Amino acid sequence: MASVRPLVLELIRHTSSGLPEDVLDALARARDREEPGSRAYSTFERMIQNVEAAREASAPICQDTGTLIFYVDYGPDYSPHQLERDIVGAVRDATKKAYLRPNAVDSITGENSGDNVGVGSPYIHFHPRRTKGLRIRLMMKGGGCENVGAQYSLPDTSIGAGRDLDGVRRCIIDAVQKAQGYGCAPGTIGVGVGGDRVTSYMESKEQLFRRIDDKNPDPTLAALEEELTESLQQLGIGPMGFGGKTTVLGVKIGARHRVPASFFVSVSYMCWAYRRGELEIKGDKVYLSGRRMIPAEPRRRTAASTTAARTAKKAAARATKKSARVGSSTKKSKGAAANKAKGTAAAKKAKSTAAAKKAAAKSATKKSTAAKKGAAKTRLKAAPIPSRRASATKLPVL
Ligand code: SF4
């Protein structure tokens, strides 16, 4: 089995520096529902622009790159031990390249591991399957939105929730209402009904791997999802809690069997920075979030900017050298003039040297400014701001 470490690194880069198409579309639709010029409209607009600029620069869309949650479905042609090594290695590589912020903190000592690797970090869930091939899904779950997640044990008299669908509905509304803007709204709400405390929360997170525009295969849950997506907007919390017509992008509900004594409802809140990506290997074909990956092309732009920077550096060095030479020759002339302490010729020479010095210094300044301008131009060229939708549909390359 060949190492998938570089492919997982690319999955992390891609996931950290952008949003899936369905999420971007949902944000754009939410923006278009708002009044242009309103706070809600410009907040959505900034979110979208932020994602596009981050995609172009391969930089994280948010400073919190979150908890890394990997779901790995592997066929008989893959070894889970090797996959774990590759994923952990790729996480370390991604942290070095600043695709990820160092986010793994020892809960007892408070020490940051510095590479996102620690006890239980990253989280990797393995699922063996009979067919060959590999699918790795990645979710990056921000801390702020994780903090506003909630678990309810029904019945819960404080919100009037019994052990039925209406009780589930009340739990979801209560969680979103309490979150206000703190989870970086608009949120997408993953819900796990049933299970035990752990698996109920797991179910709620797994729901967040679904597309925003999909439909629940269970008609009862599909109807509840639709109804809640509609009614939660009435809370008016809006993007980042600034008020507006969109408080949630969607609600996704899954249910598990439970023991008769327990009825848990777990709510996981995903912020607007809804980062999820998928790597799939089928035979010799590799897909990143549904798009075929193509081999890397020579990075001409990078090479060109490197050459330009080198040229600028050389020009600056030459200018400094010349200026130094002129300075030293001036010194000599001045000494000669002092020793001889006479003659118009010497005075003339000194005068002409001073003029030469002035001219050379002027030329040096000119060249060094030109060199600096060249360098600045190079930097700008390396990170152009793209047109809005183009960046979101760009094919990923290794
Ligand atoms: S909750 Fe999401 S958007 Fe807000 S800071 Fe955390 S990762 Fe970023």
- What is the model's pTM? 0.75
DSSP string, 211-280: -TT---SSHHHHHHHHHHHHHGGGG---GGGS--S-SEEEEEEEE----TT--EEEEEEE-S--EEEEEE
Burial of 100 from C-beta contacts in 10 A (0-12 / 13-18 / 19+): buried
Residue 271 alpha carbon, nearest atom of ligand 1: 2
Q: Which of 104-108, 151-155, 194-198, 303-307 has the lowest mean pLDDT?
A: 303-307
Task: Please provide the average confidence, as pLDDT, over all residues in the chain.
Answer: 85
Q: Which residue has 């629940």 as its token pair?
A: 216
If we measure between CA atoms, which residue out of 240, 222, 174 comes closest to residue 34?
240
Which pair of structure tokens corresponds to residue 121? 């970090």
Ligand 1 centroid from CA 272, angstroms: 8
DSSP state, residue 34: S
- Ligand 1: residue of 62, 182, 188 to mutate (most ligand atoms within 8 A of CB) is 62
Domain layout of the chain by residue ranges: 143-272, 300-387
What is the percentage of the chain residues whose pLDDT exceeds 90?
A: 73
Distance CA 353, CA 351 (A): 5
The contacts of residue 205 (CB under 8 Å, 6+ apart) are: 69, 139, 141, 190, 192, 268
If we measure between CA atoms, which residue out of 392, 391, 396 comes closest to residue 6?
396
Mean pLDDT along residues 352-365: 57
Residue 313 pLDDT class (50, 70, 90 cuts): low
Ligand 1 centroid from CA 367, angstroms: 46
Distance CA 270, CA 191 (A): 11
Residue 293 pLDDT class (50, 70, 90 cuts): confident
Distance CA 155, CA 221 (A): 20
Distance CA 4, CA 222 (A): 37
Q: Check residue 353 and give its pLDDT.
A: 58
DSSP string, 151-216: EEESSBGGGTB-SSHHHHHHHHHHHHHHHTTTT-SSEEEEEEESS-HHHHHHHHHHHTTS-TT---
Distance CA 161, CA 152 (A): 9
Ligand 1 centroid from CA 183, angstroms: 7
Ligand 1 centroid from CA 231, angstroms: 24
Q: Is the pLDDT of residue 174 over 50?
A: yes
Query: 150 - beta bridge partners?
Result: 267
Q: Which of 38-52, 102-116, 266-280, 336-350 has the lowest mean pLDDT?
A: 336-350
Distance CA 349, CA 360 (A): 16
- Ligand 1: residue of 48, 145, 147 to mutate (most ligand atoms within 8 A of CB) is 145
Residue 144 alpha carbon, nearest atom of ligand 1: 1
Torsion of CA 11, 16, 18, 19, to 10 degrees: 90
- In total, the chain counts a number of residues equal to 398
Ligand 1 centroid from CA 54, angstroms: 15
Mean pLDDT along residues 239-257: 98
Distance CA 180, CA 134 (A): 39
